[in-house]
């Protein structure tokens, strides 16, 4: 007497076709959303998913924003990317925006130590697993996010097809500063604390105001910036992308935070890829996602579609 149970959404959308034909069916079936995703570790990460054309077949782009990321900054850019036909999964990492706010509400565990790039890469994979994304995807990142995007490919090469970095963090500018050597001198007992204090002070000057999403957790925004920055203090993009295929750079003229010559040197470490410079009108716009989002969205679409040729670098 009972009617057969109705198939679930995933079964309905994939019936009559193989998983190979629709590798991102689980993501398409879930649909667009903005909110927290629970990882297998129990960690909750804020994610925004926008679907483009044929989302069940076409690989999405994972987007990692700069160090001061939060969702309200990205709404306009998400629309630009969707207009290009791309699906995008924006991930707000530990120490950033809404993910940090959630963590602070339960004690602020993520800010008890520096946040290393290796751990951030694991979080990205945890989000993809939670969303049912197992096939390779593109990964893109601005500045800090560019460094983490490259790290993700290094640690999990089977999960990513292309790496796209926009004005990426290349290496610690302090590493070549004579004062750093003085402060890290083993015979200077206060060296390490002096260096960390200087970094924290600089970050507070660069980012004087806390975003609305963290207003109820005083001090957390700047502590997050500090923990993220110090976590990357031993990072070197050239070493990270060494031998890597399909690495694509979009650099900004007169970008003091990420000079084109430093990017060119890092790019030389990869095996194949492309190197594109933003037009002169964008000179000085380190935050190119907000400075010229249409350019970035168009570039991402062209790279993902193979219209930007990936050439041997050496």
Q: What is the token pair recorded at 169? A: 């963090």
- pTM of the complete model: 0.90
How high is the pLDDT of residue 180? 52
How high is the pLDDT of residue 175? 55
**Token pair 């991102």 in the structure block, residue:** 24
How high is the pLDDT of residue 260? 84
Per-residue pLDDT tens, the chain, 314 aa: give them: 444 444 444 333 334 445 678 999 999 999 999 999 999 999 999 999 999 999 999 999 999 999 999 999 999 999 999 999 999 999 999 999 999 999 999 999 999 999 999 999 999 999 999 999 999 999 999 999 999 999 999 999 999 999 999 999 998 765 555 455 445 555 555 557 878 888 899 899 999 999 999 999 999 999 999 999 999 999 999 999 999 999 999 999 999 888 888 999 999 999 999 999 999 999 999 999 999 999 999 999 999 999 999 999 97
């Amino acid at each position: 007497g009972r009617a057969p149970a109705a198939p679930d959404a995933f079964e309905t959308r994939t019936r009559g076709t193989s998983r190979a034909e629709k590798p991102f069916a689980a993501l398409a079936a879930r649909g667009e959303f903005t909110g927290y995703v629970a990882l297998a570790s129990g960690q909750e990460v804020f994610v925004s998913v926008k679907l483009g054309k044929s989302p069940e077949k076409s690989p999405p782009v994972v987007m990692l924003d700069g160090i001061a990321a939060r969702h309200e900054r990205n709404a306009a850019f998400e629309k630009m990317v969707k207009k290009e036909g791309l699906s995008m999964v924006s991930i707000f990492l530990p120490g950033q925006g809404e993910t940090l706010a959630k963590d602070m509400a339960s004690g602020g565990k993520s800010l008890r130590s520096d946040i290393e790039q290796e751990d951030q890469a694991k979080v990205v994979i945890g989000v993809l697993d939670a969303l049912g994304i197992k096939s390779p995807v593109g990964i893109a990142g601005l500045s800090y996010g560019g460094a983490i995007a490259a790290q993700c490919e290094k640690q999990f090469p089977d999960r990513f097809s292309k790496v796209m970095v926009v004005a990426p963090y290349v290496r610690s500018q302090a590493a070549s500063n004579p004062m750093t050597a003085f402060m890290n001198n083993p015979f200077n007992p206060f060296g390490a604390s002096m260096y960390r204090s200087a970094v924290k002070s600089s970050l507070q000057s660069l980012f004087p105001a806390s975003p609305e999403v963290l207003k109820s957790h005083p001090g957390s925004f700047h502590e997050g910036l500090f923990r993220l920055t110090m976590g990357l203090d031993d990072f070197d993009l050239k070493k990270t992308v060494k031998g890597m295929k399909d690495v694509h750079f979009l650099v900004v003229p007169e970008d003091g935070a990420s000079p084109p010559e430093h990017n060119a040197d890092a790019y030389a470490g990869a095996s194949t890829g492309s190197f594109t410079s933003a037009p002169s009108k964008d000179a000085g716009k380190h935050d190119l996602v907000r400075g010229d989002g249409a350019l970035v969205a168009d570039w991402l679409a062209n790279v993902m579609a193979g219209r930007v040729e990936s050439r041997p670098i050496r």
